[in-house]
């Protein structure tokens, strides 16, 4: 199961009998998830140009899932006493699809604050306990993606000659005075190049340890958060990041506008 993803370096973990449930009762869900995820690539420009927000690559993944019928859904669980509604709890899930055997719910956590995992896992736990879903799926940055992020951004800065604040600005990435001063301080303390100081500061600021990545998710699952809901966890590897597409900030903005028109993402 998920051999194509595993062969491409993706991390795949299953918990609470999810392997048996998915392989026996939801083979079509496995095929659709693998098809949508396996073709994912993210140009390095999108990682930098997004400023730490969701990249167009992950937005394209959302569109791919939506095209396969994995749509946003708001579950409302209502408590009634003698026919009178007394309490209602809502759980909004980004990607949900009903199959003959039941319902699968999925969330993509590219770069949120890591407590979002608690929300996702608790939502899955409650919906599973109420019989609303059979399995929960979380797709997030994998270990290699997180570990190699600084080196990838440094390579990008070097190849694009982002060797000054002016060069960064000219490339189309506005930085605050606080961010500029942080880069200057790092250069003084380390004696390194501007490119390295800028890359290190950018990654620490935008993709730091307290954001959603594999080890933060794994820590929670091992502590039992979300248990006993069957879970499928998929980590996106560094190998999906590309360096040879020469994407511009303007093309990133154009694609974002197209995704907004299609309803894949909504304006902040």
- Residue 260, pLDDT above cutoff 90: no
pLDDT-derived band at 55 (thresholds 50, 70, 90) equals: confident
Distance, CA of 259 to chain centre: 17
- Residue 267, pLDDT above cutoff 50: no
* Cα gap 145→173, rounded to integer Å: 22
> Stretch 18-23: mean pLDDT, rounded?
96
Contact 98, 29 (CB under 8 A): no
Contact 29, 97 (CB under 8 A): yes
| Sequential DSSP letters for 131-162 | TS-SEEEEEEE-HHHHHHHHHHHHHHHHHTT-
CA dihedral 95, 99, 101, 103 (to 10 degrees): 20
Give the percent of the chain with pLDDT over 70: 91
Average pLDDT, the chain: 90
Predicted local distance difference test score (pLDDT) of residue 78: 77
- Residue 46, pLDDT above cutoff 50: yes
Contact 35, 51 (CB under 8 A): no
Paired residues of 97 in beta bridges = 104
Considering the four listed CATH numbers 3.90.1150.10, 3.40.50.1820, 1.20.120.1200, 3.40.91.20, the one that applies to the domain covering 3-79+86-149+212-261 is 3.40.91.20
Predicted local distance difference test score (pLDDT) of residue 268: 45
Which tens digit of pLDDT belongs to each residue from 168-223? 988 888 778 998 999 999 998 888 899 999 999 999 999 999 999 999 999 999 99
Greater model confidence, 137 or 244? 137
pLDDT-derived band at 42 (thresholds 50, 70, 90) equals: very high
Q: Among 8-17, 52-61, 85-94, 180-189, which range has the highest average pLDDT?
A: 8-17
Contact 202, 129 (CB under 8 A): no
> Stretch 61-82: mean pLDDT, rounded?
89
Ranges of each domain in the chain: 3-79+86-149+212-261
- Residue 85, pLDDT above cutoff 90: no
Could you give the 3-state DSSP secondary structure of residue 67? Answer: helix
- Residue 36, pLDDT above cutoff 90: yes
């Amino acid at each position: 199961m998920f051999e194509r993803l595993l062969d491409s370096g993706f991390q795949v973990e299953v918990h609470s009998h999810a392997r048996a449930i998915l392989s026996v009762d939801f083979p079509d869900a496995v095929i659709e998830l693998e098809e949508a995820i396996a073709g994912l690539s993210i140009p390095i420009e999108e990682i930098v140009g997004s400023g730490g927000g969701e990249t167009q690559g992950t937005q394209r993944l959302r569109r791919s899932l939506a095209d396969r019928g994995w749509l946003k859904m708001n579950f409302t669980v209502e408590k009634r006493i003698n026919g009178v509604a007394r309490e209602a709890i809502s759980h909004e899930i980004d990607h949900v699809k009903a199959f003959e055997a039941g319902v699968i719910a999925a969330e993509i956590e590219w770069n949120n604050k890591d407590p979002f995992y608690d929300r996702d896992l608790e939502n899955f736990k409650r919906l599973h306990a109420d019989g609303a879903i059979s399995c929960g799926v979380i797709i997030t940055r994998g270990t290699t993606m997180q570990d190699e992020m600084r080196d990838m951004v440094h390579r990008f800065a070097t190849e694009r000659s982002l060797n000054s604040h002016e060069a960064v600005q000219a490339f189309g990435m506005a930085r605050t005075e606080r961010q500029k001063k942080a880069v200057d301080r790092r250069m003084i303390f380390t004696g390194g190049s501007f490119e390295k100081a800028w890359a290190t500061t950018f990654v620490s600021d935008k993709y730091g340890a307290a954001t959603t990545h594999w080890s933060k998710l794994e820590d929670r699952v091992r502590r039992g958060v979300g248990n006993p809901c069957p879970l499928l966890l998929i980590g996106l590897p560094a190998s999906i990041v590309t360096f040879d597409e020469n994407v511009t900030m303007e093309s990133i903005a154009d694609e974002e506008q197209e995704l907004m028109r299609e309803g894949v993402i909504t304006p902040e």
